Structure 1
């Protein structure tokens, strides 16, 4: 069985974490396969949005602990430097919108990979768990960077240390995720977000993502300079010209991602 399923549906890359019997926990094969698929999404100009979901009942339970304890299993440092860190870096570096559709539990690295995406939505029955403290580890996969910026230091510290399960409804309330949907509507509504993004001005969305990445560490003056620079780039795109013309003609714009 392929550990990652990948297909293009229109202008959207549909990526499925596919180890349902292991709650889509990551082993080396799946981590490297996801990196390869993300690389393809970055370079394929026909792909204008990315949709990431898990097969079966879970989004991802994080690391497959069976792999770690195996006689020939990888060291923790290898798992981080070769598996998870490259995934997170790719998720943030691809200048196309990425939707994490959290269909079930997202735990440990699975949770933090989801939170590294641009828009995170969840099924109402889904949950998020910073499970690391339960086995004596620290949060990885960018969790100590991303989560405090989403929900604040105090809440993030408590969730990481106590390992509390956060239901999707609560995750939305505290700003951890964008939205949640009833389970029976989740597939349709989460996909609709990715589909909508794929028809929007792709370069402008990518530059927005770049600006947000800079904003995590910049002061105001530096960020204003970045906005100036990126706005000039966006203003030279065909989609900008189309958007302005459509506004003046009082019609719906047809963006081509150019």
Structure 2
């Protein structure tokens, strides 16, 4: 999936958000799709929201309704049972940073930058940034990034745990493909169930997680992937899941 308005550095506008949501919902329903990759065309991943479209007065109700629609996109990424990779090819600022944070993996090019300069516009971070950022980098670092508006480079983002790893831009597509191919070879049912439980883990008690694990494992025990995994272990070979 490619954000494709390079002339605006892929600023998120209403049409782009609706098209992304439609594409994600289609991918969710397509059994042939095992992994989703989100990237940007041109020299940016996503420069944030379309500020030109915000150049008008909003009532509190209108502003809330606007953001609730945007929230559907983040909920879809979080809730879908497919793993999602953000291939950050350049600046990921504001809403663009938070779109990447919603993904399960972030691979960044060395040219990538990240930031939360919402305060410069008198806004709070959105698209789930106030949820995902502290979970990735910790509460203190999240406050630092949000309240100082600083823009950090890819290596600093890797150091603080905001991204999974950094690669040269020329290697980005190759490395993303390698990861996607590895994930595709994994057990789709188990991966999807584990993603959901992990995403709920920080709001759950140990008892709740143990119960969710038990339910998920019961489903996995009935799957062909489990049977193949056991056979492969006993035959001392790599499993061929989903074949």
SS in 1 for 2:203: coil
Which residue number in structure 2 is paired with residue 196 of structure 1?
182
- 2:63 pairs with 71, 76, 88, which one? 76
The alpha carbon displacement at 1:71 in A equals 8.9
Quote how far apart the aligned CAs of 1:216 are: 2.1
- Determine which of 219, 235, 240 is the counterpart of 1:233: 219
Q: 1:51 touches 1:191 (CA, 8 Å); kept in 2?
A: no
Contact 1:17 1:55 in 2 (8 A): yes
Q: Is residue 16 from structure 1 mapped to residue 8 from structure 2 by the alignment? A: no
TM-score by length of 2: 0.95
Structure 2: which 5+ runs fail to align?
none
* Aligned 8 A contact 1:41 1:47 in 2: yes
Structure 1 match to 2:156: 170
Equivalent position of 2:27 in the other structure: 41
Instruction: Give CA-to-partner distance per residue, 1:37-80, whole Å, 9 cap, x none.
Output: 001001011111101100000000111111111699x9533431
Structure 1 length-normalised TM: 0.89
Contact 1:207 1:234 in 2 (8 A): no
**Distance in structure 1 (CA, Å) of the matches to 2:29 and 2:216:** 21
Distance 2:87 2:78 in 1: 16
Do 1:68 and 1:75's aligned partners in 2 also have CA atoms closer than 8 Å?
no
Q: Number of aligned pairs? A: 241
Does 1:104 find its partner at 2:85?
no
Segments of 5+ residues of structure 1 without an aligned counterpart are 1-14
Q: Distance in 2 between matches of 1:70 and 1:196?
A: 46
Coordinate RMSD, CA, aligned: 1.7
Following TM superposition, where does structure 1 have runs of at least 4 consecutive aligned residues deviating by more than 3 angstroms?
A: none
Deviations 1:155-189, CA, capped at 9 Å, x for gaps: 00110011111211111111111111112211111
Q: Report matched runs for 1:1-258 at 5 Å.
A: 15-69=1-55, 75-82=62-69, 84-256=70-242
Q: Distance in 1 between matches of 2:28 and 2:114?
A: 27
**Structure-2 separation of matches of 1:71 and 1:153:** 32
Give 3-state SS (helix, strand or coil) of 1:252's partner. coil
Higher share in helix? 2
CA distance in 1, matches of 2:178, 2:158: 18
